[in-house]
Chains A and B, each alone.
Chain A
Amino acid sequence: MIVCDIFNYHMSIDLKTIKHISKLSRISVDEKKAEKLAGDLNSIFEFIEKLNELKTDNVQPLTSVAETTLKLRDDKVKSKNLRDQIIKNSPQENEDYFVVPKVIE
């Protein structure tokens, strides 16, 4: 029942929610884009809501289709110094460092 309530409550994703998700996603969204996204997300969630027809209280969630336990490997360094390769594609770097806008005032 609680699940149903949450769905009903959120059947309409409003602009405030869009702004909140955009903050969490680190994607800036202006008013126009927010309105478009709200429309799209509402139609998608309306479609997703179909899952509510199913009772799943006693179902174990499927987290991986590969029914194997993860393999352990030796804790050994296999690659040599990759510093140059790692830094090669950065938009801005200074010798050994990635450069970002100033974080500390």
Chain B
Amino acid sequence: MSEITKQSLSELIKNIKDKKLSSTEVTKAFVERSEKSKKLNAYVTEDFSAAIDKAKKFDQNPNLDLKLPGIPMAVKDLFCTKNVKTTAGSKILNNFIPTYESTVTQNIWNEGAILLGKLNCDEFAMGSSNETSFFGCVQNPIDKDLVPGGSSGGSSSAVAAQLTPITIGTDTGGSIRQPASFTGIVGLKPTYGSCSRYGIVAFASSLDQAGPMAQNVRDCALLHEVISSYDEKDSTSIDFKRNNYVKELTNNIKGKKIGIPKEYRVDAMPKEIEDLWKKGIDYVKDCGAEIIDISLPHTNYALPTYYIVAPAEASSNLARYDGVKYGFRADGENLIDMYEKTRSEGFGAEVQRRIMIGTYVLSSGYYDAYYLKAQKVRKLIKNDFDEAYKKVDAILTPSTPSSAFKIGEKTNDPVSMYLNDIFTVPVNLAGLPGISIPAGHDAKGYPLGLQIIGKAFDEQNLLNIAYAMEEKINFKNKITDWWIK
């Protein structure tokens, strides 16, 4: 048996079910490695001793029929966890201890998993590099100078560095897929409405979705099966028949039609990304799938649309942080002064910037010119996909226009930071599922990802294509444990 923390989720489950490993042994191994990995700054809150206690309790009377029997797992700090501090990477929630549990994490604990701790993320999930977190940036285990991506940067770093066997992130414009791509792991953004948003700190409600981040496609399918559920506590949760994603997982994708959108060949895209995409096309062809050239003509309008819709929804969602009911409060001379100081001191620069954009585009006189316009363009973007899916079963693109960039490289230029999400944002606007799988390395040895975009509710097909490609790609992450002395 290989070292515990090197095992995939599926291997760990098998070893626990075969009684070759106990939950306590597994949990202790991940706690020890996490303790040695503080330099990465992946955790905001550690819950290690409680985790070991829960593991011991599990081992006393193990229910091995569960899907995640005694598996330790750290989760993004955007999910409310009952009695465990939940900060959303913000000063304004630095003292917030939820009295309730998010549906997605509840689903995970119901299947026997154990909370290890809460993982760092961009403040309110607004960022593409984890640098907007109040708790500092996270290091990418690939190289100490690199960002781990964002907003689920603590999550991607923790999975790649094997501090947790698997995790969940959230994705509003690419926050699962981009960090997965930057750290050489698999990340799935499910169809809007498949995972409940109840108990997730809200950013942009019409775009937010939770999803799994894993070392491989099978693990990803398993966690998706656990978290995807209809929930009446989320009014946009959709009641549809969920698959047994793992049981139905197959590498047989013969005859599937895969679309290649010409608009994703963006200006100044590095040659290595172009080459990776070509290689990806060859892989799916090798699997017996058919390649079809398609057009998504409004692709270039996705980012400007997103930067109206997302900040507008954020400005509305974040109005609740007023220093009264929970969270940080600054003293003020009167009520208004207290509100203004609380929000000015409690929110970081990027969050304030987005609240301001959102307030402006929703303000009287500008609503039609900006917000309504963006909603109309959003419709055109969705129509593009609807049209494409008359001809193809899925779409293959790069996940990001570059590999991971350096810490500090883009912090002074918000627009260049936003451009990072050019391939992922259209998927959220259209509410579709998308998966990023590690597919190669650039000249510097940094991982690069390919994205597969599916039809709504067609996660099974998406996972199958990813599974078949994964086998062909045979990706190996280059991680040296440089942060452990």
A7 to chain B: which residues have CB within 8 Å? 369
Query: Number of residues in A with C-beta < 8 Å to the partner?
Result: 53
Q: Does A29 lie within 8 Å of B344, measured CB to CB?
A: yes
B356 to chain A: which residues have CB within 8 Å? 18, 21-22, 25, 27, 37, 41
A-contact bits for B112-137, CB 8 A (1 contact / 0 none): 00000000000000000000000000
A103 within 8 A of B: yes
B236 within 8 A of A: yes
In whole angstroms, how far apart are the Cα atoms of A48 and B371 in the complex? 11
Q: A3-B368, A26-B343, A91-B323 are in contact. Are A51 and B374 (CB under 8 A)?
A: yes
Q: Which of B156-164, B171-179, B324-332, B466-474 contacts A (4 or more CB under 8 A)?
A: B324-332
Q: A27-B347, A59-B380 are in contact. Are A89 and B96 (CB under 8 A)?
A: yes
In whole angstroms, how far apart are the Cα atoms of A28 and B185 in the complex? 41
B341 within 8 A of A: yes
A6 within 8 A of B: yes
A100 within 8 A of B: yes
In whole angstroms, how far apart are the Cα atoms of A64 and B313 in the complex? 12
Q: Which of B9-17, B45-53, B299-307 contacts A (4 or more CB under 8 A)?
A: B299-307
A24 to chain B: which residues have CB within 8 Å? 359, 363
In whole angstroms, how far apart are the Cα atoms of A12 and B206 in the complex? 29
In whole angstroms, how far apart are the Cα atoms of A40 and B328 in the complex? 26
Main secondary structure of the interface of B (DSSP, over half): helix
In whole angstroms, how far apart are the Cα atoms of A29 and B340 in the complex? 9
Determine which of B300, B373, B378 lies in contact with A3 in the assembled complex, contact meaning CB atoms within 8 Å.
B373
What's the nearest-Cβ distance from chain B to residue A8, in Å? 11
In whole angstroms, how far apart are the Cα atoms of A64 and B238 in the complex? 12
In whole angstroms, how far apart are the Cα atoms of A21 and B366 in the complex? 12
A16 within 8 A of B: no
Q: Does A21 lie within 8 Å of B334, measured CB to CB?
A: no
Considering the complex, give the chain B residue whose CB is closest to the CB of A50: B304
Determine which of B334, B353, B375, B431 lies in contact with A37 in the assembled complex, contact meaning CB atoms within 8 Å.
B353
B100 to chain A: which residues have CB within 8 Å? 85
- A-B contacts counted at CB < 8 A amount to 168
Determine which of A25, A51, A88, A89 lies in contact with B377 in the assembled complex, contact meaning CB atoms within 8 Å.
A51
A77 within 8 A of B: no
Q: Does B301 lie within 8 Å of A51, measured CB to CB?
A: yes
In whole angstroms, how far apart are the Cα atoms of A26 and B329 in the complex? 13
Q: Which of A18, A63, A66 has the most CB of B within 10 A?
A: A66
Considering the complex, give the chain A residue whose CB is closest to the CB of B370: A48
A61 to chain B: which residues have CB within 8 Å? 372, 375-376, 378-379
Chain A positions 18-65 with a Cβ under 8 Å from a chain B Cβ:
18, 21-22, 24-29, 37, 40-41, 43-44, 47-51, 53-54, 56, 59-65
Determine which of A43, A44, A70, A101 lies in contact with B338 in the assembled complex, contact meaning CB atoms within 8 Å.
A101
A81 within 8 A of B: no
Q: Does B377 lie within 8 Å of A26, measured CB to CB?
A: no
A85 to chain B: which residues have CB within 8 Å? 99-100
Considering the complex, give the chain A residue whose CB is closest to the CB of B380: A59
Q: Does A100 lie within 8 Å of B379, measured CB to CB?
A: no
Q: A21-B359, A26-B340, A50-B300 are in contact. Are A98 and B324 (CB under 8 A)?
A: yes
A-contact bits for B87-129, CB 8 A (1 contact / 0 none): 0000000011101100000000000000000000000000000
Interface residues of A (CB under 8 A from B): 3, 6-7, 10, 13, 17-18, 21-22, 24-29, 37, 40-41, 43-44, 47-51, 53-54, 56, 59-66, 68, 70-71, 73, 82, 85-86, 88-92, 98, 100-103
Given contacts A26-B322, A54-B301, A61-B378, 5 further A-B pairs with CB under 8 A are A51-B304, A61-B379, A65-B192, A68-B193, A70-B235
Residue contacts A-B, CB under 8 angstroms, 26 given: A26-B343, A27-B347, A27-B352, A27-B355, A28-B337, A37-B356, A44-B307, A44-B418, A47-B415, A50-B300, A51-B373, A56-B377, A61-B375, A61-B376, A62-B382, A65-B431, A85-B100, A86-B325, A89-B96, A89-B97, A89-B326, A91-B324, A91-B329, A92-B329, A102-B335, A103-B335
